Amino acid sequence: MNDVSDISQVSNEEPLEILKHPDPRLRERAKPVRRVNRNLRRLIERMAKTMYEADGIGLAGPQVGVMERLFVVDIGEGLKEFINPEILEASEEQVELWEGCLSIPGLRGLVPRPSRVRVTALDRHGRRFWVDADGWLARVIQHEYDHLEGVLFLDRALRVVEVPPESRLRVVFFGTSPFAGTVLERMLEREVTPLLVVTQPDRPRGRGQAPAPTPVKRLALEHELDVAAPTRLRDAAFVERLKALEPDVIVTAAYGRILPEDVLAVPKRAAVNVHASLLPRWRGAAPIQRALMAGDERTGVTILHMSAELDAGDIILQKEAPIEPDDDFGSLHEKLAELGAEALLEALRLIAKGEAPRRPQDAEGVTLAPPLRPEEEWIDWTRPAVEVRNHIRALTPWPGARCLHGAELWKIARTELAAAGEVRGGEPGEIVAVRPERGFAVACGQGALWVTELQPAGRRRMRASDFLNGHRLEPGERLSSGAPGDEDA
Ligand code: GNR
Ligand code: NI
């Protein structure tokens, strides 16, 4: 924020009302300013305040009912006023750009204009100045000058389109994981640009375990968005910063922390969460993993209002998705992130139009999806093959489903159920068949699994057939679970 806008914030001038098309005053030609005096300086200050509060980059007298030749501009380089401006020269070269106008909310138009103009005007002290403007400054000066002539961008536009209502919402986004990254990316593609992106502080990540930004932070910085990574959400300075943004909506997606009530109370319209299950099934931090582990064949996403109780708020909308037998955490996570983004954008449109429904969750059918505990990363071969397989799906590719082959840590990445009678016998964890082109079969508490992909100790993930190419494995060898406390092996 620049100095001038700060002055306008402390000034006690009231903002003015912005006239909206088709108000006839927007079609009149403005009269020259007669005197540059204190009254005019106060008017300039009020116009600046009006422009800043409306998030505009320019404002002309007629837009606030002042039929005088005067406008203010701030394209982020400070406030500049133009009194009795004249356009002395305009370039032959034209550029087409999308324009909006505070007097025509909800529409924008593709307007060709000279790319450069030479302008003269008086400043607030009545002193004459000249500017050679290009880029956005040239654009805005011409747009404002048009207002003084009673001309609107609609008159010059090659095309006029509606601005999607959701892109006009003031949004603060809270998110951390890749799921949240996908949601944010889709929001940005649809021009729903958060005023602020809140994420978790940098943490040791990846192989090197050096502190690294979250996927959401990286994306936000790429798009030059403001980012906050507070360690404490209750921190008064953070809550004040949020309030100052006057958001309509708070969106959370896989943020990884519960928002305190005083944060939930900040947005004017709603605080909503993108949750990766069909609530009330799988409330909690690990809905995708728990759905896979349970062998669910359908799941989906829910957009809900946040409440004090975790994932228990009223539902705005849900979208279903099948869980395919070959889905694992990686594939399902991606599908649900896309579906969640789609559902969120639909919900934001409804919120923007004031049409978002609110449906309390069913009291029946509540299940909980607590985060994975480290000991759950071990494969328990004594369970039925179907359950072992689902467990592995839920842990693949991250953090990986572990077992021990002797003292070596293996991660099992992909399996197929052995057909009835295809392999027989064996204690749970015992390798009961080896087929170099397919993989190897492991006995479970009931039935057996063909391991078709794995990540052996210190190596990358590979097909079991490739592994067997260079590694002897004999029926009778055993896979086991780690002893409790071995999680960090
Ligand atoms: O805020 C505004 N944005 C803008 C974007 C592209 C081209 C011109 C403008 S000016 C506009 C404010 C306004 O309506 N000024 O008259
Ligand atoms: Ni305008």
The tokens of 453 are what?
């992909």
Q: Is 102 a catalytic residue?
A: yes
The mean pLDDT value for 45-65 works out to 97
What mean pLDDT comes out for the span 249-270?
Answer: 96
pLDDT (0 to 100) of residue 486:
47
User: Residue 187 is which amino acid?
Assistant: M
Known catalytic residue: 189?
no
How confident is the prediction for the chain on average, in pLDDT?
94
Q: Can you give the pLDDT at residue 211?
A: 87
Q: How close is the Cα of 112 to the center of ligand 1, in Å?
A: 14
Residues in CB range of 397: below 8 A, 6 or more apart: 328, 329, 330, 413, 461
Predicted local distance difference test score (pLDDT) of residue 487: 44
Q: Are strands 171-175 and 249-253 parallel, antiparallel or unpaired?
A: parallel
The closest ligand to the CA of 54 turns out to be 1
Pull the structure tokens for residue 151: 């001309």
- Is residue 480 scored above 60 in pLDDT? yes
Three-state SS across 20-56? CCCCHHHHCCCECCCCCCHHHHHHHHHHHHHHHHCCC
The values of phi and psi at residue 411, to 5°, are -110, 125
Q: Give the separation between CA 348 and CA 255, rounded to whole angstroms.
A: 18
Strands 408-417 and 107-114: unpaired
**How do beta strands 227-228 and 249-253 pair?**
unpaired
Mind listing the pLDDT tens digit for each residue in 27-38?
A: 999 999 999 999
Tell me: pLDDT of 370 over 90. Answer: yes
Distance from Cα 84 to the centre of ligand 2, integer Å: 17
Contact 74, 7 (CB under 8 A): no
Place of tokens 């909800």: 106
Residue 376 has pLDDT above 50, yes or no: yes
Phi, psi of 280 (to 5 degrees): -85, 5
Task: Supply the pLDDT for residue 357.
Answer: 96
Give the closest residue to 454 by CA, choosing from 466, 469, 443: 466
Please tell me which residue in 102, 259, 348, 404 is annotated as part of the active site: 102
Distance CA 214, CA 200 (A): 7
Reported confidence tier of residue 424, pLDDT bands at 50, 70, 90: confident
Using the predicted structure, report yes or no on whether residue 449 has a pLDDT greater than 80: yes
The CA 21 to ligand 1 mean position distance, Å, reads 14
Please choose from 103, 113, 140 the residue to mutate so as to test ligand 1's pocket, defined by most ligand atoms within 8 A of CB.
Answer: 140
**Residue 259 has what DSSP assignment?**
P
The percentage of the chain sitting over the pLDDT mark of 90, rounded to a whole number, equals 92
Q: What is the pLDDT of residue 210?
A: 81
pLDDT at 206: 66
Task: Say whether pLDDT at 7 is over 70.
Answer: no
Residue in the block written with tokens 């969640």: 340
Output the pLDDT for position 3.
38
Q: What is the percent of the chain with per-residue pLDDT over 70, rounded to a whole number?
A: 96
| 485 pLDDT above the threshold of 70 | no
Residue from 47, 73, 98, 102 whose mutation best tests the ligand 1 pocket (most atoms within 8 A of CB): 102
Residue 39, phi then psi, degrees to nearest 5: -60, -40
Is the sign of the CA dihedral 281, 286, 292, 298 positive or negative? positive
Report the alpha-carbon distance of residue 286 to residue 326 in Å, rounded. 19
Report the candidate in 292, 289, 286 with the shortest Cα–Cα distance to residue 310: 286
Tell me which residues have their CB within 5 A of the ion that is ligand 2. 101
Question: Which residues fall within 8 angstroms of residue 240, CB to CB, at 6 or more apart?
Answer: none
* pLDDT of the residue at 386: 98
For residue 176, the cross-strand partners are none
Q: Can you tell me whether residue 404 is helix, strand or coil?
A: strand
Per-residue confidence (pLDDT) for residue 483, from 0 to 100: 61
Examine the pLDDT at 9 and tell me if it is beyond 70: no
Q: Is 421 within 8 Å of 427 (Cβ atoms)?
A: no
Tell me: the pLDDT tens digits for 57-80?
999 999 999 999 999 999 999 999
Of 202-211, 301-310, 353-362, minimum mean pLDDT range = 202-211
Q: pLDDT (tens digit, 9 = 90+) per residue, 385-395?
A: 999 999 999 99
Closest listed residue to residue 167, CA positions, set 349, 356, 355, 353? 349
In this prediction, residues 451-473 reach a mean pLDDT of: 95
Distance, in Å, from the CA atom of 227 to the CA atom of 224, rounded to the nearest integer, reads 9
Contact 451, 412 (CB under 8 A): yes
Q: Which domains does the chain have, with CATH numbers?
A: 7-162 (3.90.45.10), 166-365 (3.40.50.170), 374-470 (3.10.25.10)
Q: Which bound ligand lies closest to the C-alpha atom of 74? A: 1
Answer yes or no: 333 catalytic: no
